[in-house]
Structure 1
Amino acid sequence: MQQTEITIPDTYVSRLNINGLRGRVLDIPSKRPSKHGKNILLVYGHHSSIERMYSLASYLSTYGTVTMPDLPGFGGMDSFYIINKKPTLDAMAEYLATFIKLHYRNKPIAICGMSYGFLVVTRMLQKYPHMHKQVNLLVSLVGFSKKNDFRFKPATYNTLLYGSRFMSTLPFSFLAKHLFFTKPLIKASYAITAKSHVKMMDATPEERQKRIDFEVYLWKCNDARTYFATSLCFLTVNLTTQKIPLALHHVSVKQDQYFDKAIVLKNLRRIYSKVSAYTASLPNHAPTVISDEADAALLIPQRLKVLLKQYQKSKV
């Protein structure tokens, strides 16, 4: 998957301010406007930004108007810490519910959540059941719901767990930001591991440099403490104890380096009333950046494209 420069028209991006947290929101008009215009909310995942997911949002605008807000602490948005809150899953869910209320009012929407973003969506739907009737279509892109979805070996899991716990404290996250998450060290770490790193191993030297440059941008625009606190969240989460009476369309990838696909499906079916499973053409969990719409199309399996087209034409 070749990486290209991500250029977003200025008219698509506007400022966002919710509860004193400043960020951005992407709004892409539908490529096929109709009197039954559809609204699609895209929620990006961990270690992400509007730029990383822009091409997917642009592709989805084939089926409706696509909106993608920043999440607090990601994509350059202010973190919860500046208003003396922690970036808990409940806090993220409350933020997303507030955004939907302000942006859509009571309009019906389709929601597409990517990885951690889908975790936030699920918790929001559990926390605010009155929102169920507003959701006409729900899609999980490599989403998950419980800590045992991860396929890490015990030693790796414990290293990540305790590492995230320590690094999510103020002193350690401050040190990480100013000592480790610097441009030279980020570049060096990816260069050293390039031959075995799933995001880099298939790239030519020129392509690899583009990907590394974008990773530098991601590490710099995402709040370090939020990154580790949310990592700790999904390494300890369990959302399978509360049901949601909605149908879910779940997309996995062929070789997900993070999740056990069978366990993910089992856990999702403990939450949602019906889960339809699809497999995308992407070779791993997610690339550094989805460069263009052709690459984005690989994340949406053909059967789901048919469903999205039906949704786009429907009167509801």
Structure 2
Amino acid sequence: MTYQLSHELTQCQQRVNDFLATQLTQYDNFNSPLIDAMSYAVLLGGKRVRPFLIYTTGKMLGVPLEQLDHSAGAMEAIHAYSLVHDDLPAMDNDTLRRGKPTCHIAFDEATAILAGDALQTFAFELLSQDTTISEKQKILQIQLLANSSGAKGMCLGQSLDLLSENKSVSLSELELIHRNKTGALILASVLMGFNLSKYVNDQQIKQHLTHYAQAIGLAFQVQDDILDVIGQSEKIGKTVGADQVLNKSTYPKLLGLDGARQKAEDLYQAALLSLAQLPFDTTALAELASFIVKRES
């Protein structure tokens, strides 16, 4: 990772963390483990790739950062809720997330389920409370986040992923799983930044950004699969080998480790090609694509 990207990611992490922490103070009068679990889940850490994509895409297209805060916070709340539920015994049954006990271990299973539910509604609460954008823009953001996180996106991918355990799936079936499970929110992040720009009706720009986001969304999952084989738990912050224990179909399993690495590289090059078609400074988005396929955590 270059110093520039590291610096920008750190700034993004700090900004969205501060925003979320401030927004969570509206629940301070409720002395409940639920609120503690919500805060634990959403402020636990993480790379904040999705908020970074919202901020970076919006900034590239001339959107002031303060108009992107609610969208970035809402996206991270949805992502956090998905991780809480993904870690549950009924799903992946993980005990480690971002180097710390998963939410149902730190609290209990019922509280974790409710914290995930509450974070999901918190996301749409944030979008509805945004006074920096127009009502039309609010509706666009709400529709996009709802579609990408529900039965047309992330939840569909999660369901297909569970159904694929202990089964052999084809490469195209695996891609369908991950374009929804991981890719849907990454695509939505780029488009949420785009939606708030003056270019919102430019279909050519939207198409290039969509192709970029689809490429890095799939590359992110390919690299995750690779790290589940060769990564170190202390670096990636979760248990290595979990996919093998659950007998999941993964890119290394289908393509071999070298084949999976080549797949990630091909997706990276596709992402750069899409960015090259845009008449803007796409350096930050290009560096993020590089980070995604080279990361060790």
The question of a shared fold, defined as TM-score above 0.5 by the shorter chain, is answered with no
User: TM-score scaled to structure 2, two decimals?
Assistant: 0.34
Higher relative helix content: 2
User: TM-score scaled to structure 1, two decimals?
Assistant: 0.32
